[in-house]
Amino acid sequence: MISVALFNNKGGVGKTTLTYHLAHMFQRLGHRVLAVDLDPQSNLTSAFLDEDDLAILWAEPESPAWGGAQPTLTGPLARRITREAGTVAASVKPIMEGLGDVAFYEPTCITDGLWLVPGDLELSAFEDKLSAAWPNCFMGDLAAIRTTTAFYRIIDDAARRIDADIVLIDVGPNLGAINRAALLAADSVLMPLAADLFSLRGLRNLGPTLRAWRSTWQEAVLSKVPKSIPAPSGEMRPLGYVIMQPTMRLDRPVKAYRRWLERIPYVFAESVLDEPQHSEHRSYEIATLRNYQSLMPLAHDARKPMFDLKAADGAIGSTQTYVQKCRAEFRELAESVIDRLSKVRAQAVRDPENMS
């Protein structure tokens, strides 16, 4: 199993859309995939599950899904949301309440070969607990270490239950304590970017922060973690970046887009890799995805990936050609990511102490 966090501390670049579609495409390619929603906004969860699913999963007592009465887990929903299901927030609730360690739940099965560890807006309350725990980890405080490693242990347990090949972790667009714990739990980091000034600024902030978290965890904390507590290596290897192409408009011509696109490899090398700038770092550019904005409403209504849209979903005529292009691009992207992950895994075999 190998894990990938999709992260950019600049929001609105299509991170969750990319996570959702990669999860489905990896599954189409025969991999056992676990998607993990560690963004308190829970957009990935709402992409996978409809409101009736979420009403049961979040135990919402006043949801119109069941007319104010607590539902029973029977019928079609029972195939997806079981009594053993739970969100990340439910898993860390014992830590939040000071009643114990993380609780483990069965991941939610989306389809054969694809599972979800669902998110919950209540996860945002865990931020303060994680912030307070971080400095105490340096002293070997076991409660603090259990708190900081909670996400990693939840992911590790869920992945083992389903024998996952690939874990995709969706995180929010910030550099707070939740994301620090989430990224420490990841073997590698994939960065979706827009070719604009804001993404460049995000890279300049992100790179040094990742390196600081990595070195602090590995040098000041990891040796203090007892063997009884599973802990991540904190490697967070940069896998590369994916350019999410914007809609071209008259007030933002191609020239402006190209201006920022040409600068990304150099900023990535300098800020994320901490290496001298040179053109070879364009090798970290995994793909450029065209804007599929016209397909998104259809995909949302059909509750399926854009590349699975059929004529019955409204994808007719030239739109179906667009769907086929989308499928080809995401397949190529997924295969490229798998190739890079195989290299990360091979490096881990050669250097096992630097990988979990």
pLDDT digits (tens, 9 = 90+) for 309-338: 999 999 998 889 999 999 999 999 999 999
Rank 55-59, 74-78, 334-338 by mean pLDDT and report only the highest: 334-338
Mean per-residue pLDDT for 200-226?
93
Average pLDDT score, the chain: 87
Mean per-residue pLDDT for 273-298?
80
Mean per-residue pLDDT for 101-126?
95
Determine the residue type at 337. Answer: V
Is the predicted pLDDT of residue 75 greater than 50, yes or no? Answer: no
Buried b / exposed e along 332-346 (16+ C-beta atoms within 10 A)? ebbeebbebbeebee
Confidence of residue 38 (pLDDT cuts 50, 70, 90): very high
Mean per-residue pLDDT for 181-192?
96
d(CA 268, CA 262): 11
Is the predicted pLDDT of residue 255 greater than 80, yes or no? Answer: no
Residue 2 is predicted with a pLDDT of 94
d(CA 231, CA 154): 11
State the helix-helix crossing angle for 15-28 and 318-350, rounded to 10 degrees: 80
Is the predicted pLDDT of residue 250 greater than 60, yes or no? Answer: no
Question: Which has the minimum average pLDDT: 70-74, 267-271, 283-287?
Answer: 70-74
Residue 251 is predicted with a pLDDT of 47
Question: In which order are the strands placed within the sheet that holds 114-117?
Answer: 108-111, 114-117, 33-37, 166-170, 2-6, 188-193, 237-244, 285-289
Mean per-residue pLDDT for 100-128?
95
Residue 355 is predicted with a pLDDT of 45
State the helix-helix crossing angle for 197-216 and 177-184, rounded to 10 degrees: 70
Is the predicted pLDDT of residue 172 greater than 80, yes or no? Answer: yes
Locate 5 and state its tokens: 């966090």
Q: Give the predicted TM-score (pTM) of the model.
A: 0.90
Confidence of residue 350 (pLDDT cuts 50, 70, 90): low
Confidence of residue 239 (pLDDT cuts 50, 70, 90): very high
Residue 55 is predicted with a pLDDT of 84
**Higher-scoring residue by pLDDT: 353, 19:** 19
Domains of the chain (ranges, CATH numbers): 2-347 (3.40.50.300)
**Higher-scoring residue by pLDDT: 276, 296:** 296
Mean per-residue pLDDT for 84-102?
91
d(CA 328, CA 314): 20
